[in-house]
Structure 1
Amino acid sequence: MKTHEALAKALRDGGAHPLFGVVGDANAYMVDAYARQMGGRYVAMANESGAVLAALGAAQLSGGTGFATVTHGPALTNCVTALVEAVKSNTPLVLLCGDTPATDRENLQNVDQHAVIRSTGTGLEQMRSPATAVADLARAVRRARAERRPIAFNMPAEMQWEEADGTPVSWDVPPLVSPRIEGAGLDDAIGIIAAARAPVVLAGRGAVDGASRDALTRLAQRIEAPLATTMRARHLFAGEDHVLGVHGTVSAPGASDALMRADCLIAFGASLNFHTTAQGSFLKGKRVIQVMDRAQDIGANAVPDVGILGNPSDVAETFLYWLDEAEIPASGFTRDLAPHGLDTPDMGQPKPVRDGCVDFLTALDRLDAILPADRSLVTDAGRWMVRSYGRLTAPGPLDHVTTASFGSIGLGMAAAIGAAATRPERPTVLFCGDGGFMLGNLAELNTATREGLGIICVIFNDGSYGAEHIQFRDRQIDPAITLFDWPDFVTVARALGGDGHVVASLAELEALPAALDARRHDRPFLVDVKLDPDQVTTW
């Protein structure tokens, strides 16, 4: 077996599907073997960045590991922004990248790939030889899963046609063994909970499994604490009483009031970054207990009073046991809170807009109601996203893919392709801005058409770079350089094999359900929502 065949077989046997990529001379034979000989699903993207982002979307939606492949040189440098996004969002994925033969010093595409990879915060795993190729790939996969970040598997092109050892090597990472939680840390945590009169139970992305949800819900009920989540764990507690929704900068007014009254935060699987803590304001005057399953995550951002290493569900169960053993009474906090509606966002007031536009908040709420409820939700970045995070819904935390961890616009379409290819039985809905659509999403629109993916792409089109536009307006500077005369997006979508619907009035907004019913489900459908750049409510 040749090296490229051995790697292809390992990808297939390990369940690396779909595989997203762009082929070149250093990875094409491996991709061909994977798709043609091994029967794996390969999704050809338009841009190498798109390959990484599609793998990111697949990983976030599945809760597993994404897989992408590119060739060498400029193909890898094209991935830099996407890799940083994956690093910052703690998304496990493996990028199989070819590398220029060491003997080919004059190759135009030669670059120090190790330096490029490390500059993004991505881990590096080198393919050392054909004999170790499969074992080296397995190590890359295990590292991606254990380290919760992208790992680049660097494959020298000259090894692809050499004889290789195709013996399978396990990709599995053993689960964290449930330790016995005891000692001063446990005593301090129970003491803090016992003394609390207004505790809050917070779940982050590290606590979205079913066991953690159930255990945290029981703990919250036992101590009469409301339930909150980080942005990436949103909707985890849907249907429960006393749910605050997102804890942080996008908290609803009722939730913010409750969080400001709280005197204790018990956080499970949450890194407590500045978004979650609202720049630290939601931690003032509170005792904080942070439970994480990796030691390096405890105190990485906000410093807790007590840090406990363990699985969230196990720790919550331990808390429950000792609270009952010590006969500690409930706090009574939720008795003063409404059981429902605490996570209801500020509805705001419609603003007068110029002709040919619709009010942003009105459109946002109607779109959330009109679009399929059983959706895979993907959100790009832009000034529209802050309000959108509080209003757009998804069935659960693993149904929402975010691409704003690096603050870049234009990453959403590729991530949506990864989501749609991973979960084709459900509609995928992407929200982006017009600047993001033109910057990066347009390149992959035809990929969705080629793959027969019926992604619904909503563009909030204010004809500007909105975040910059509002800054110019605030400083009373002419925002001309932030404004754009874009092409007609629906016409562009049709030219690339998709279709669309323009929303430039309330009547066209109400006509959207009929347009969605009549659309083909094997091609992308673009909804061009015309907004007034001077009247887009951001906070």
Structure 2
Amino acid sequence: MQVAELDDYDDEYVPSTALIEKPRLLPDPAGIQAACDLIQDAKRVVIIAGRGARKADSGEEILALQEQTGALLATTLQAKNWLCDRTDFHVGLSGLFGDKPSMELLQEADCVIAVGASLNHYTIESGYLYPEAKYVQIDTSPHVVMGNGKVADCYLQADAVTALAELARELRGRSVRLEGYHTDAVKQHLTARIQQPEYVSEPGRLDPREAIWILDHELPGEMGLVLGSGHQTDFGTMLFQRSRDVLSNYGMFGAIGQAPLIALGQLIAQGNKPGFVVEGDASFIMHLAEFETAVRYDVPLLVVVMNDQGLGAEYHKAKAKGLDPDLATISTPELGAVAESLGGGGATVRTAQELSDALAEYVREPRPTVIDVRITREVLSTPYRRIQYGEDV
């Protein structure tokens, strides 16, 4: 192969996925009737939109059904913040990563309509989040078992757009229009979610919640985001609020450090559009060589390292169990300088202003960049406060 002559090859490459036609699956009419029976009898409907719904471009149909049924709209982790700028009744994530005001409302649901969402145990908290709800599930898969070990009360194997359109049509034919959650009281309850916390002040270290707030507000909304793993990812998972394309590495491969690789591949697949990944320090150091690959091929990947100089998950779990948390601490070099030595851009930041300045430089000139954000260990994420200490937050 190496010594063979290559003839001129002018044909444009076409991926196999472009050659395969995907017909829209039409829902079973009997299933539509059964689903409408459940919805018609409901008082509080929740629609959970997943990655499949987003890929099917079913946003308009979801919003129309939400208006018709007075539903709250929630998303899975892989569809985080989708459509949040299109409705006042968006509660964010469904599951442990949701905030308390939203979870209080979701627990009142008596009907859940899942669109392109597997309803795994994270999304429905193994069933505890929706204790009284009947489930209508729309998916192209032949069959899905939910995270509570049960099947949906009504399962529609169908394309999201066609199934939602048929549901809306049948509900209109029955003159069904529910007020549900669409009240001023619910809107005021949701407003409590937006309160900004009082940040922890520690010399030379940022509160991770403040760092996420700055990232979310100062990086353009069209920039895609890949979330890493470990304790630090809880902050980004819960606190990023803009409606941007989000991919979560949570739980993939059962190991830390994968997110920068995923982000690098995603950016190349998308034609080298700027994008960013938020990852922990130990995770990033595991795959430092891949950043050099981004430099070599000039992929404009921004790596934001939430650096608590430790294995954050192990540190906080050990502390909660009365073990020695210092065994989970590690020292790290100035990762911004390391990135520069590899030929990219880099900065190590310890204040909010330094972080803003570093982000502004990347936005002006997108190129392979590492921003080493030194964060405090004094802030525990909400999921860890719930799981490790049993706090009602």
Q: TM-score range by the shorter chain?
A: 0.7 to 0.9
Partners of 1:313 and 1:248 lie apart in 2 by: 25
1:335-359, CA deviations, whole angstroms, 9 ceiling, x for partnerless residues? Answer: 2421895694664332243x32111
Distance in 1 between residues matched to 2:331 and 2:12, nearest whole Å = 39
Q: Which amino acid aligns with 2:39?
A: I
2:116 corresponds to which of 261, 269, 272: 269
Cα contact 1:253–1:345 (8 A) shared by 2: no
C-alpha deviation, 1:509, in angstroms: 3.0
> Are 1:381 and 1:410, in contact at CA under 8 Å, matched by a contact in 2?
yes
Cα deviation digits, residues 220-242 of structure 1 (max 9, x gap) = 11111121111112232132221
Contact 1:379 1:412 (C-alpha < 8 Å) held by counterparts: yes
Q: Letter of the aligned partner of 1:414 in structure 2? A: L
Change (3 A) 1:180 1:532: closer
Quick check: 1:324 aligned with 2:172?
yes
* CA 235–474 in structure 1, closer or farther in 2 if over 3 Å, else same: closer
Q: Which residue of 2 aligns with 1:535?
A: 379
Tell me, in whole angstroms, the C-alpha distance in 1 between the residues paired with 2:8 and 2:260: 29
Contact kept, 8 Å, 2:121 with 2:146, in 1: the verdict is no
Counterpart for residue 338 of structure 1: 187
Residue 210 (structure 2) aligns with:
362
CA-CA distance at 1:493 after TM superposition: 0.8
Residue from 504, 508, 525 that aligns with 2:369? 525
1:13-412 equivalences in 2 (<5 Å) = 38=9, 172-179=19-26, 181-183=28-30, 185-209=31-55, 211-241=57-87, 242-297=89-144, 299=146, 302-335=150-183, 336-338=185-187, 341=190, 344=193, 347-353=196-202, 355-393=203-241, 395-396=243-244, 399-406=245-252, 407-412=254-259
Q: Is the 8 A contact 1:290 1:308 kept in 2?
A: yes
Deviations 1:303-360 (A, max 9, x none): 211111111111111111211222224243312421895694664332243x321111
> How far did 1:273 drift?
0.5
2:304 aligned partner, one-letter code: V
Name which one, 1 or 2, has greater alpha-carbon Rg: 1
Cα contact 2:199–2:209 (8 A) shared by 1: yes
Shift of 1:175: 1.9
Tell me the distance in 2 between the aligned counterparts of 1:418 and 1:491. 24
- In 1, the alpha carbon distance for the partners of 2:196 and 2:39 equals 34
Q: CA deviation at 1:274?
A: 1.1
* Separation in 2, partners of 1:178, 1:435: 45
Instruction: Give the Cα–Cα distance (whole angstroms) in 2 for the partners of residues 394 and 282 of structure 1.
Output: 25
Deviation at 1:270, TM superposition (A): 0.7
Native 8 Å contact 1:360 1:537 kept in 2: no
Q: Is the 8 A contact 2:101 2:189 kept in 1?
A: no
Q: Distance in 2 between matches of 1:528 and 1:251?
A: 27
Q: Tell me by how many angstroms 1:206 deviates.
A: 1.2
Flag structure 2 segments of 5+ consecutive residues without an equivalent.
384-393
Closer/same/farther in 2, CA of residues 438 and 343 from structure 1, 3 Å limit:
farther
Conserved? CA contact 2:27–2:158, under 8 Å = no
Could you tell me how far apart the structure 1 residues matched to 2:257 and 2:266 are? 16
1:418-429 alignment runs, 5 A limit: 418-424=265-271, 426-429=273-276
SS in 2 for 1:350: coil
Number of residue pairs matched by the alignment: 379
Distance 1:530 1:38, change over 3 A: farther
- Cα distance between partner residues in 2 of 1:505 and 1:177: 51
Which residue does 2:260 correspond to in 1? 413
**Contact conserved, 2:27 with 2:162, CA < 8 A, in 1?**
no
* Cα deviation, residue 211, structure 1: 4.7
Give yes or no for contact 1:360–1:531 (8 Å, CA) kept in 2.
yes
CA contact (8 A) 2:27 2:156 kept: no
Tell me the SS of whatever aligns to 2:47: strand
Q: Displacement of 1:514 after TM fit?
A: 4.8
Report the 3-state secondary structure (helix = DSSP H, G, I; strand = E; otherwise coil) of the residue aligned with 1:529. Answer: strand
Q: What is the root-mean-square deviation of aligned Cα atoms in Å?
A: 3.0
Q: Any conservation in 1 of the 2:58–2:160 contact (CA below 8 Å)?
A: yes
Q: Matched residues in 2 for 1:334 and 1:382: separation?
A: 36
Query: Residue 385 and residue 40 in structure 1: after superposition, are their counterparts in 2 closer, same or farther (change >3 A)?
Result: farther
TM-score (structure 1 length as normaliser): 0.64
Q: Give the deviation of 1:210 after TM superposition.
A: 6.0
How is 1:361-510 mapped onto 2 (pairs within 5 angstroms)? 361-393=209-241, 395-396=243-244, 399-406=245-252, 407-424=254-271, 426-440=273-287, 442-510=288-356
Pair 1:378–1:215, CA change in 2 (3 A): same
Q: Counterpart of 1:400 in structure 2: which amino acid?
A: V
Q: 1:430 to 1:446 in 2, by over 3 A?
A: same
Instruction: Note the alpha carbon deviations across 1:450-507, whole angstroms, 9 max, x for none.
Output: 1112211110111101100111111222223311122221221111111211111334
Shift of 1:188: 2.4
CA distance in 2, matches of 1:342, 1:254: 9
Does the 8 Å contact 2:209/2:239 carry over to 1? no
User: Does structure 2 retain, via aligned residues, the 8 Å contact 1:416–1:430?
Assistant: yes
Deviations 1:270-327 (A, max 9, x none): 1000111123222211111111111133557542111111111111111112112222
Cα distance change, pair 290–363 in 1 and its aligned pair in 2 (3 A):
same
Q: How many Å separate the matches in 1 of 2:27 and 2:350?
A: 60
Q: Distance in 2 between matches of 1:177 and 1:363?
A: 43
Provide the C-alpha distance between the structure 2 equivalents of 1:267 and 1:517, rounded to a whole number of angstroms. 37
* Counterpart residue identity of residue 121, structure 2: F
Q: For the residues of structure 2 that align with 1:376 and 1:331, how far apart are their CA atoms? A: 35
